[in-house]
Amino acid sequence: MNQINLQRISLRHTYLFALAILVAAIAINYYHQPNMFEIRVLNGNLRVFLPLILLAAGQTVVIIGGGIDLSVGAMVSMVNAILVTLITSDSTTTEVILAILAGCGAGMLAGALNGFCVAYLRLQPIVTTYATSFIYAGLALYILPRPGGSVPSDLARLYRDTPLGVPFTAYVIVVLVLIWLLLRSTRYGQYLLATGSNADAAYTTGVPVNRVRLSTYVIGGLMAALAGLAITMSVGTGNPRIGDAMTLDSIVAVVLGGTRLAGGQGGVVGTVIGVLILGTIRNIISFANVPTWSQTLVDALIILVALAGPGLVRLMRGQPVFVGAIWQRLVRKESA
């Protein structure tokens, strides 16, 4: 009976394992950087993490729905370019808000294009979003050929601020998680999981699978736009290539957080933990005196290990690392 309960809990809360890893990572980080819990340092870290948290949250929704979006990084660059072009250091609050709305609109449009191709034209998500990433990257370059631009100091200050002693970015993360929990608890949340778990069964049951899929990409686009906003507020300037590395990071964060790449389960809570793990590990790398030239490789290796994690666990769980075991998987379906 206890075993069943444990299984139920771990299936319901797929992020528990990630949480354990995060605690371990924080401990190691603390060892190298004893002042990491000071508000100033914490704020600095969260400011760097927030864009990826927002981006990966959107990616989570897309992945749970059974898809994937490789153009999110390019969308971030695109929105960053839009914002920096529309806003200058002298912009009024209204202008800023309008610009933000424009950026969000652009993100949602881009997401809608992706969603339309995947859901209605039935194009394969991986290659299609890889192709559209070039369209958005091209747009970013077109709007902002060279890095530059600036934002109103008020905006940048808001991002750095600590209202009531808590970083602004922390509020945003909490609100994000609350919105996700609300979304998850609605009928749409059920539709989302059903679509990702078994689209045919969902369709037969009357779930509007196409609309659900489209909506996940639009959400992904919106979150990418918000990530673009966050990064613009954080960095204070524009760079048409700013989002390049974020796509892979967003996928890794989702996987680290316990969500399955095939879809049908998981959540944003795990993804937030995943981003925190990634960020903490990167902190550790810089504080542990890893030589500059090796940092890219170490970072990439960590990503690789993170992705290999679920597979390694499965291998170690008793199935021999033997080609024979793979026959059985190929010949038999997994469920019961």
Partner 1 sequence: MKVSLSAQHIVKHYGGVVALADGNLTVQSGEVVALLGANGSGKSTLSKIITGVVSPNDGQIYLDDVPVSFASPQAAKRAGITAVYQELSLVPDMTVAENIWLGNEPLVGGIRVNRRKLIQQTEDLLQHFAGTFQPTLEPDVMVAGLPPDERQIVEILKALSKNPRLMILDEATASLGSQQVARLFELIEQWKARDMAIVFVSHRMDEIFRIADRATVLRSGYHVGDRQIAETNERELVSLMVESQANPHSIRVQATQADAPIRLQVEQLKTKTLRGVDLRVRDGELLGIGGLQGQGQTDLLLALFGAISYHGHVTLSGEPVKLNSPRDAMKRDVAYVPGDRGSEGLLLIRSILENLHLPSWKRYGLPLDMRAAYAAGERSADNLRLVRSSLDAPVNSLSGGNAQKVVIGKWLLRDPRLLLLNDPTKGIDVSTKGEFYELLARLCAQGTAILFYSSDDEELLGLCERVLVLHDGQISAELQGDTLDRTHLVAASMGFAQEGDIESD
Partner 2 sequence: MTTTTLNSVRRLFDHVSPPMVALILAVILFFAGGLINPNFVNVTQAINIVRAAAFLGIIAAGQTLVIISGGEGIDLSVGAVVTLSAILVFRISDGDNAMMVPALLVALAVGAGIGLMNGLGVMLLRIPPLVMTLAMAGVVQGTVLIVTRGQLIGDTPSLMRRFIASPLVLGVPGVVFLWILVGIGMWLLLERTNYGKQLFAVGVNRKTATLSGVNVPLVVIATYTLSGFLAAFGGFTLLGFTQTVFLNLGQPYLFPSIAAVVVGGTVLAGGKGSYWGTMSGALVLTLIDSLLRALQLQQAYQFMVLGTVLVLLLSVYGRQRTLRQ
173 binds partner 2 (CB under 8 A): no
Torsions phi, psi for 48 (to 5 deg): -75, -35
310 binds partner 1 (CB under 8 A): no
State how far the Cα of 216 lies from the Cα of 206, in Å rounded to an integer.
18
The distance of closest approach from Cβ of residue 91 to partner 2 in the complex, given in angstroms and rounded to an integer, is: 25
Q: 105 or 189: whose CB is closer to partner 1?
A: 189
DSSP strand E in 231-270: where? none
Binding map of partner 2 across residues 65-104, x = CB under 8 A, - = no contact: ---x-x----------------------------------
Residue 96 is inside which H or E element, if any? helix 93-115
Residue type, 309: G
Among 1, 4, 330, 336, binds partner 2 (CB under 8 A): 330
Give CA separation, 189 vs 54, 61, 183, in Å. Answer: 19, 10, 6
Count of residues engaged in binding partner 1, rule: CB under 8 A? 34
Cα 187-193-198 angle, rounded to 5 deg: 125
The distance of closest approach from Cβ of residue 211 to partner 1 in the complex, given in angstroms and rounded to an integer, is: 11
Please, which of residues 207-226 interact with partner 2 by CB under 8 A? Answer: 209-210
197 binds partner 1 (CB under 8 A): yes
Dmax over Cα atoms in the chain, in whole Å? 67
Q: How far is CA 276 from the centre of its chain?
A: 11
Residues of this chain that interact with partner 2 (CB under 8 A) are 68, 70, 117, 120-124, 126-128, 130-142, 145, 199-200, 203, 209-210, 248, 251-252, 255, 261, 293-301, 303-304, 307-308, 310-312, 314-315, 321, 323, 326-327, 330-331
